[in-house]
Structure 1
């Protein structure tokens, strides 16, 4: 029986992938569940398992090719005889939240949930189904364009951002033609190099634009004397090092952040623009922005409020190392409620972090440095931690930002208070 395996529908956020490596060859006998290819998507590099056992008849693409959803990319003889019957796997979509945006994952890769059940109600059937990326949908909404009236120019008629822009321009200036942008030609002997962006880099770029131009950011900054915390950590870090636990400052900061989030829940929320509602999240899934050679990844420390400082330290080490080694699973990169970014680990002091959409706030952590400060009318040398808090000014006022940092300062300046309140 001839089985044509189509590239699984990973959803609106990820409609194609780059074939990085074939893991099988034509003529190989394979088992159901065996990985047949390594594919890079917008989020991660993942292995695609075969849904059938049989003999590989044909590999439809070469390494480096782009495969679109529903394209047949491998043909398998499941019985070794009849080649006239074509089967297609049933795909059930599951909606999940991604690291730097929304990811839709297929049940071919991730077990399906009731959230992914496709509605077949009369109301849903009456609506025109439009293929479009989340960014294009958000842009259409922001610009007041009815996306169902837009003709898509992307694969399979998918509505792209340029289609939305053109539709808006035609509404605003119906008699005018859209000016064409002239390509700049370098003819003065300059030595330039054009480097195509990776899928993850493109996704990061799109998500940063979406966050920056959807959420009105404001940023509050402060410095905290953490001399007692430095002393406290120094006292115990060697003890836990013998247990293969790297006790950095980040677990203490996360523990303090959770206590502050419970006091000021609007920082652990998102804003539903369509309904005009504030969505308070009564869970604490902390995103850890991680610098990798493939771009920014944000693995999620789930239920951080239920973990001790030592447990948080151990999990951070695991998540960050696997992110850098490109060994993350999609479910580990979704669902964060608040994010921290530690640019102090590479020597940075202050920054203006961009909110991880659709969250309402993000905390930037700088490098702890020794500085002279005035304490009890005397100049002393202290260990100073610089912090930058960016938040959604639609739902959070400046006074709340100051209160957030003040409570964080109280907790981090005295680890005993932190342990008692957390």
Structure 2
């Protein structure tokens, strides 16, 4: 039996994902939980595991394609079940319905030990059609490990999405399934046909002419369409998405398309393309076409504003238009810190840890946040309350090829210098390699952005909303500093008031840029916070007390 594998919510509440790379092809055999593809969400690149064991019949989304959650991305022939083409196509509708009910009962019976036919049918219904269960892969794996029937779990997340807590609650309340294997809710059973061009497949098929035909050719927008294998083959040959073909015919309550409908739609599309060739050329430039245009010497190219890049933009826009920013700039003489780190580097390397300046800065920030908790807050605009966070999760902005990502060091106040160094290095490496998980980029209370690694001294960083403050770091370099000296006899004679002399010397300094949400934090508090950070950085031995 063929199963349609729908893109699950591979993060927490995502709406769509981009297929970065397929690790399987049509005809390949896959094991349950085997990674089939890399999917880029608005937070990170995550694995897309196979929900069942079987053979891949068709991939419905191409690499680089944006796919909404719930869209079919692959059709898999499940091992041990009767292939679709062996199902009798000439059976009467009533007979087909009866056979489908029996098959559903059998399938659920396999997964639920001792279930009655009626109960088994309900289990399958809960995992397919309108009763689809929404849960990310990690939650499904937990359900299998705990022997919980995922279809029997009440989801408490957005839109009824099931979380790990829901699964554990069900397991603790005795809702575990003796058989231990529940139907996979990210999969929808196909009734009697092989995988079609639903959802993303159609998007890929019509990418060449969709922009030109959408405005002039009547199209449908369905999630599921019934058709015979011959009709599906014809649709593939003509690059037609069956879900876009208009039809008034139905079968078993679902839209039904025949060969004549497909041919008529394809002819109408070709006529529209011939009449308006310029629309397709101007309207739907994809990234590969943009690259070709650049190579051909075009003055402008376009690329999709999607994935992490779009998420960054939306977050920055929300912050800029929500939080009125104020900034404070200062500079720390970190000569003692440079010497301290230099002495400790070898000791850290003996333990396999690269010791940078960041762990010292994080410890100084946590100490300052404890003295000035206003900068470790969030403004709840709905309840009009300021939330003071009594935990310290420090976000570290990391520049990657995909854009800026902010993994979070959790509970920084409870960790030693070397543990912070190790975890920061690991998080930064995972971010650059696009392997950081969504969970590792959530829950921050204060953020550090180190633009100094690219040169420069000061900047006005945008606050990582809903946080209320962010600290920007310039480059640590030797800069001229006036070092105060003793008052001399000649200077006293030259003036009635005591005058001090100073000498310009080269010292290692660190420029600091603090941006605050002025709705919650006053400029004086930002300055005092910055002064405290400077005190710890200029006297690193104080960090031993933290």
Where on the TM-score scale, by shorter chain, does this alignment land: which range? 0.7 to 0.9
| Equivalenced residues, count | 347
Say yes or no: does 1:419 pair with 2:419: no
Gaps of 5+ in 1: 95-104, 121-154, 157-182, 184-188
Q: For 1:214-293, what aligned pairs fall within 5 Å after superposition?
A: 214-293=322-401
Q: Distance in 2 between matches of 1:38 and 1:118?
A: 25
Q: How many Å separate the matches in 1 of 2:529 and 2:155?
A: 37
Cα offset for 1:280?
1.2
Task: Map 1:1-400 onto structure 2 (within 5 A).
Answer: 1-10=1-10, 14-78=14-78, 79-81=80-82, 83=84, 88=127, 90-92=132-134, 107=139, 116=157, 191-377=299-485, 378-379=502-503, 380-400=505-525
Higher relative CO (CA 8 A, sep ≥ 6), structure 1 or 2? 1
Hey, what's the Cα distance between the residues in 2 that align with 1:93 and 1:271?
30
Residues 231 and 314 from structure 1, CA distance in 2 versus in 1: closer, same or farther, beyond 3 angstroms? same
Give the deviation of 1:235 after TM superposition. 1.3
Greater helix content: 2
Q: What's the CA shift for 1:2?
A: 3.0
> 1:7: Cα distance to partner?
1.0
Question: Does 1:404 pair with 2:404?
Answer: no
Decide whether the 8 Å contact of 2:9 with 2:69 is kept in 1.
yes
- Residues in 2 aligned to 1:66 and 1:118: alpha-carbon distance in whole angstroms: 21
Q: Which secondary structure does the structure 1 equivalent of 2:329 belong to?
A: strand
When residues 399 and 384 of structure 1 are mapped into structure 2, their CA distance, relative to the original with a 3 A threshold, is same
Distance 2:364 2:437 in 1: 28
1:318/1:9 Cα in 2 relative to 1: closer, same or farther (>3 Å)? closer
Tell me the alpha carbon deviations over residues 50-87 of structure 1, each in whole angstroms, 9 at most, x when there is no partner. 22222223222232332221111112222331646686
Cα RMSD (Å): 2.9
* Greater fraction strand: 1
Query: How far 1:258 sits from its partner (Å)?
Result: 0.5
Question: Which range is displaced more, 45-54 or 194-203?
Answer: 194-203
**CA offset digits 1:298-329 (Å, max 9, x no partner):** 11111111111111111111111111111111
Q: Distance in 2 between matches of 1:337 and 1:365?
A: 18
Q: TM-score, normalised by structure 2?
A: 0.59
Structure 2: stretches of 5+ with no match in the other structure: 85-99, 105-123, 144-152, 162-220, 223-281, 283-296, 486-501
The structure whose Rg is larger is 2
